[in-house]
Amino acid sequence: MAPLKAPKDGDTAARGITPSAALSRLVTMRKRADFQRATRAAHVAKPGFILQMRKRRSDEATAPEAIRVGFTCSKKVGNAVARNRAKRRLREVARLALLDLGQPGHDYVLIGRKGATASLPFAQLQSDFVKALDVLHGIKA
């Protein structure tokens, strides 16, 4: 079997393939101040994680249509291997749901929980994330 060849520069653009507009709206938060502002906002605790959400002010530098998301796990979650596994799972949960259910102009922070984020079934994490979004968005109480 021959190895796959990487596309040449501009190959996908020449065929008219453009990345999804929704993918460009999801931005990862990196600055401590952004996480601290989210700490003072609304949150929902689920068995596998805590989800915080805040609406950004209009004077903030980020594009107003962007959905920002951040991930954090403290050392209580475990060693570096356990924290990285937990964050990988949280990133995938957010990627699958936030593009459809996230609201533009909002920041979301997912916080891993000790002994649960890395071990709960992935389907449960997904359903809990959707339920938490519904609560934060005021759809279900």
- Tens of pLDDT, residue by residue over 84-132, are 999 999 999 999 999 899 999 899 999 999 989 999 999 999 999 999 9
CATH annotation of 22-136: 3.30.230.10
pTM of the predicted model, to two decimals? 0.79
- Tens of pLDDT, residue by residue over 8-55, are 555 444 444 444 444 457 899 999 999 999 999 999 999 999 999 999
Contacts of 72-77 with C-beta under 8 Å, sequence gap 24+, read 72/35, 72/109, 72/110, 72/111, 72/112, 73/111, 73/112, 73/117, 74/111, 74/112, 76/114, 77/112, 77/113, 77/114, 77/117, 77/118
